[in-house]
Structure 1
Amino acid sequence: MSGTRITFHTGQDQQPEALARVVDHVRAQLSGTALADLTSARRPLFAGIGASFAALAVPVEVLRAHAVPAQRVLASEIEDGLAGFDTDVLVGVSQSGRSSETLAAFRASGAVRTAAVLNVTPSPLADLADVAVDLGNEPDSYASTIGFTATVVALDLVAGALAGRAGDAWDGIAGRLRTVRERAAATIEPLRARAAACVAADCVASGASRASAEEAALLLREVPRVPAAASATRNYLHGEMESAGNTLHLVFGDGREIGLARSLSDAGHLTLLVTTRDVEPGEHLGVVRLPDTEGPGPRVVLETAVVQELVQALSAERDVPVEAFVFANDDTKEGGVDPGDFAIASPELTTGS
């Protein structure tokens, strides 16, 4: 079974209301007994692949801020078991619940308790998990919109429950999301032609915003087909930025990231800074200012809304249909590729087959 597929643009339009639903849906699950037997976990290990792995930067940051040791790992790295990992609960994330690597990790987890965070139910991952938290079978696009941001919502709430956090910062997310999308569109429009001509993109962030940078690199590859890479801020400063040249730089953050964005743009490199600070834009520097937010989860959702607006604009400018995926790997999902999914993603590739 797969969730309902919608177009990327529809996902953007429906995202504010969808996230409000997901907040309520996940809160309700966590207010019951869903995680009662996991609240004693003190060494959680989060596993996922692709966009799900990117999203895991959020719960790791939340838990570490509450002095709970947490780490994330690619699910493919633990397909043979958890030897070498000191963990008392494995949290696997897969929007479809069919990611082959995450399923393999769960099957090899031994006596360690397992929790799944997913969108589609029923699904194989939910069947394997001791506890499952779902998003409510929300419709999503093939290059994920709602699925990714809703996963961030759920992971933030799950991490908050594991950490014993009092409350959360998700109230009003729909309105903030609409505001940021409008700001992003206004900033990106005058930059889109130049950005579309760039040969590559670097996406840079620190902390939980690494989720935004990694998702940005993935969407830039998937949607407008721009070669892109994600880097941690301090690592980027240690030599990685030296390759700048006809490159789009997408920088998320309020600290050293602001100086980095200025250094790049002052040198003539096109840079888009996503920040809560009041930073003056320039000839080579676009700035999307985010509303002040509490907690890393809501911030990552707002940053991702900027990314979605960017890739939509670049796809149009580069004349690459947003849904036009090229490759359908049949070993990344248990049961293979759903032809219905790929049909909406790449209609021009399937009509002649």
Structure 2
Amino acid sequence: MSRITFHDGQDGQPEALERVAAHVRAQLAAPALDALRAAQKPLFAGIGASFAALAVPVEVLRAHGVPAQRVLSSEIEDGLTGFDTDVLLGISQGGRSSETIAAFKAAEGARTVAVLNVTPSPLAELAELAVDMGNEPDSYASTVGFTGTIVALDLIAGAIAGRDDDPWHGIGAHVRTVRERAAAAIAPLRARAATTVAADCVASGASRASAEEAALLLREVPRIPAAASATRNYLHGEMESAGNTLHLVFGDGREIDLARSLSDAGHLTLLVTAEDIAPGDHLGVVRLPATSAAPRVVLETVAVQELVQALSAERDVPIESFVFANDDTKEGGVDPGDFAIGSPDLTHA
């Protein structure tokens, strides 16, 4: 997989997601993946952004009556004891995450399936089956890699559940629309948002993937301390620490009232919703087209990408100027070249 800048990832994302959807559909139609489609108790494992993405297939499968769960790969490095599963799906965009590789080496009693972007890779070599996204170029602070993973995981979950519909036709046009809307909504609040001391990212259901990815990108790109919370848990005390904080809220239900409560109290809030909600003095709104859960997560993430690149410019932090290189997180260590490709040109912002 070749590296591109964060901005290039944003610009090429509509076409890349169309390619990923077509590539994964073709693989899932092949007889070689019949065993994957027959999964009855799938267990999804990942680390970092890959773990965040797993909220999507779990939600899709449970909605179709299929018991599914996600777990950090590090929790099963010693094996699957205590987990009732027939298929372990390990997600790693580059196929080199050391924790997921260790989990596959320790897995016994379940078929292993790798879901990744890069082939060949160490994880693919360990897996009995693999679904790949076609070696799409990605930025180090992931753009296409994360959203493409959501596409792949939803199509896999749909195949396991026996779902008839395919929600990914036309995703490119939706991405372009939401990116434009997000830029317009963020422009009035970006200067204030850049001075906040922390950010809370709140969502429910499949959109928990968006909240978790948002918290990660806010830390990685503009270096704002951030945390992700489930909506109902956030209401039970977590929101009490609001103060010079940015609140990023995803959803159409209780999330709308939450966003209004926060903004009415003077706290800067960005609501990402499919509902027609008017913005306010402390409330920005990104309006999404009506879609099913998984495409919605992609569109929510597109809005987040627009936010973090704007805040990176405001805070004068070059995108992808990473500070820490942990050699034990990737099989074979960290490639110094990954850190050489940043996005110092912030004139797009």
Q: How does the TM-score come out when normalised to structure 2?
A: 0.97
* Counterparts of 2:221 and 2:42, CA distance in 1: 33
Please provide the CA RMSD for this pair. 0.9
- The 1:176/1:82 distance shift into structure 2, 3 A limit, reads same
Tell me the equivalent position of 2:299.
302
| 1:305-324 → structure 2 map (5 Å cutoff) | 305-324=302-321
Contact 1:26 1:154 in 2 (8 A): yes
Q: 75, 98, 101: which is aligned to 1:100?
A: 98
Contact 2:17 2:172 in 1 (8 A): yes
Residue 159 of structure 1, CA deviation: 0.4
Q: Secondary structure at the match of 2:188?
A: helix
Tell me the equivalent position of 2:9.
11
Residue 142 of structure 1, CA deviation: 0.3
Contact 1:103 1:125 in 2 (8 A): yes
Tell me the equivalent position of 1:138.
136
Give the fraction of aligned pairs with identical amino acids, expressed as a percent: 81
Tell me the equivalent position of 1:24.
22
Contact 1:325 1:346 in 2 (8 A): no
Residue 167 of structure 1, CA deviation: 2.2
* Counterparts of 1:41 and 1:326, CA distance in 2: 41
Residue 338 of structure 1, CA deviation: 1.1
Contact 1:249 1:270 in 2 (8 A): yes
Q: 331, 336, 347: which is aligned to 1:334?
A: 331
Q: Which runs of 5+ in 2 are unaligned?
A: 345-349
How many residue pairs get aligned? The number is: 344
Tell me the equivalent position of 1:35.
33
Residue 111 of structure 1, CA deviation: 2.7
* Counterparts of 2:71 and 2:16, CA distance in 1: 28
Tell me which amino acid in the other structure corresponds to 2:256: I
- The 1:288/1:34 distance shift into structure 2, 3 A limit, reads farther
* Counterparts of 1:258 and 1:167, CA distance in 2: 29
* Counterparts of 2:264 and 2:224, CA distance in 1: 23
Residue 39 of structure 1, CA deviation: 2.1
Tell me the equivalent position of 2:148.
150
Residue 346 of structure 1, CA deviation: 8.6
* Counterparts of 1:283 and 1:300, CA distance in 2: 26
Q: 70, 73, 97: which is aligned to 2:71?
A: 73
Q: Deviations over 1:107-157 (max 9, x none)?
A: 000131011100000001111111100000000000000000000000000
* Counterparts of 1:34 and 1:231, CA distance in 2: 39
Q: How does the TM-score come out when normalised to structure 1?
A: 0.96
* Counterparts of 2:172 and 2:188, CA distance in 1: 26
| 1:105-144 → structure 2 map (5 Å cutoff) | 105-144=103-142
Residue 323 of structure 1, CA deviation: 1.8
Residue 164 of structure 1, CA deviation: 0.6
Q: Which runs of 5+ in 1 are unaligned?
A: 348-353
Q: Deviations over 1:67-89 (max 9, x none)?
A: 00000000000000000101110
Q: Deviations over 1:307-346 (max 9, x none)?
A: 0000000000000000210011000000000122122149
Tell me the equivalent position of 2:267.
269
Tell me the equivalent position of 1:289.
287
Q: 73, 87, 100: which is aligned to 2:85?
A: 87
